[in-house]
Amino acid sequence: MRIKIIIFCLIACLLTGCTWVVKVARYIHDSDKLDNYIYDEGTVVNKYIEKIVEAFNTNDRELLASLFPEHARSKIDNFDEQIDRIIRENETWPSSIIRYKLNEDNNYQTSADRGKIYKEVYANTTIEFADPKEGEVHRPSLKIAMVIVPVDDFHENNVGISIFAIDYGDFSTDGVDKENDGYDIYAFGH
């Protein structure tokens, strides 16, 4: 009986133009796809992805390095060599980037203490390439997994990418951040 009443109310609301019912119905329908990854985190990640793609398109080592905070640069082993390796690999790509997208398996973590906030955003993205003449994807996609710190009130100069992993196709991030200090670059198997 209750189900019939609920269905009747939904139909009445739909016929009278109650848009909030449609929004609630869509939310319930998509609830299995929703997670805690909210709009603000997605916006932060997209800005970083756009800067990474810009650095790749222009072979701009300094732009790529600037996405890492100074604190992370000092903690990452062989930081300059790792950035150079990514740019050298980029220079060998005979194709152009045609699209990049934020993958579904993303998340964030926030902690606060006495009014200070620390936030980490976990992001996975895929970059696809195309032959400039043919316009078709012709090589494996590039996968990037990263941890971005958009807010850190506890440590000065710690906003930016703290962990960056890049490789072709799917790869395991088990070897990333072996020191467990929260900072690392994993580039093409190393």
Q: How far apart are CA 135 and CA 29, in angstroms?
A: 37
Angle at 94 between CA 93 and CA 97, to 5 degrees: 70
Asked if 35 contacts 76 with a C-beta cutoff of 8 angstroms, the reply is no
For 140-152, the pLDDT digits (tens) are 678 888 888 888 8
> Do the strands 184-187 and 160-168 form a parallel or antiparallel pair, or are they unpaired?
parallel
Q: Name the segment(s) of the chain with CATH classification 3.10.450.50.
A: 36-187
For 96-132, the pLDDT digits (tens) are 666 777 666 666 677 777 778 888 888 888 887 766 5
Instruction: Classify 36-187 by CATH class.
Output: alpha beta
Q: Indicate the DSSP class of residue 88.
A: H
What pTM was estimated for this model as a whole?
A: 0.71
Sequence-distant (≥ 6) Cβ neighbours of residue 137 within 8 angstroms: 98, 128, 129, 130
